[in-house]
Amino acid sequence: MIDNLPEGLTARHPTTDDHPRVLAVLDAWWGDLKGEAGAMERALLLPRLYFQHFTTTSLVVEHPDGALAAFLVGFLSQTDPDTAYVHFVGVDPALHGRGIGQALYRAFFDLARAHGRTAVHCVTSPENTASQAFHTRLGFTASAPLADYDGPGLARVAFTLALAETPAR
């Protein structure tokens, strides 16, 4: 499913059983970004429905003992037939900088292409400078921070990438 992961790690599509496992790592993996308000925001961004209805375009990465190493939750836009969307992605901080985030995105790009999509979109919070650096490195174009994008007080940086400009794996 993803052939360029560090040795020992494997990827598969998630199931509903993965929902509590992913929720359990969010605060640690995000370094408690934005404190309690951030914790609430993150939990509310990942209701169970993503692990029921978006599994075929989402991925989890695990160690040989089954411990969670990374995840990506994404989907194909129902409204825009050209677009795919990465909703949430996280890599265990102990594994940062080893190409796992990039491998997850490349696998998602391939899935998106296979469904005829030509662009990938995602957003992050302006405080998440690591996420902005990562997405820019992958070739995404970033907007300026967009005030109240996701609701009052919830600014976002929006990213866009044209798949034609990103080689297939």
Ligand X SMILES: CC(C)(COP(=O)(O)OP(=O)(O)OC[C@H]1O[C@@H](n2cnc3c(N)ncnc32)[C@H](O)[C@@H]1OP(=O)(O)O)[C@@H](O)C(=O)NCCC(=O)NCCS
DSSP calls for 22-75: HHHHHHHHTTTTTHHHHHHHHHHHS-TTHHHHSGGG-EEEE-TT--EEEEEEEE
User: For ligand X, which residue of 2, 51, 131, 161 counts as binding (CB under 6 A)?
Assistant: 131
Please give the radius of gyration of the chain, using alpha carbons only, rounded to the nearest integer: 15
Nearer to ligand X, 48 or 137 (CB): 137
24 near ligand X, judged by CB under 6 A: no
Q: Interface with ligand X by CB under 6 A: which range of 58-66, 86-94, 141-149, 155-163?
A: 86-94
> Pattern 133-162, binding to ligand X, x per CB under 6 A?
xx--x-------------------------
Q: Using CB under 6 A, which residues numbered 111 to 130 contact ligand X?
A: 124, 128, 130
Handedness of CA 97, 103, 104, 105 (dihedral sign): positive
Looking at the Cβ atoms of 55 and 124, the one nearer to ligand X is 124
CA dihedral 147→151→156→161, nearest 10 degrees, is -120
Which of 2, 51, 101, 109 is the binder for ligand X (CB under 6 A)? 101
Q: Quick one: 119 or 130, whose CB is closer to ligand X?
A: 130
Stretch that binds ligand X, among 15-23, 47-55, 92-100, 110-118 (CB under 6 A): 92-100
- Tokens representing 75? 């989907």
Q: Which of 169, 168, 141 is nearest to 157 (CA)?
A: 141
C-alpha span between 29 and 68 (Å, rounded): 11
Contacts with ligand X, residue ranges (CB under 6 A): 29-30, 88-91, 96-102, 124, 128, 130-131, 133-134, 137
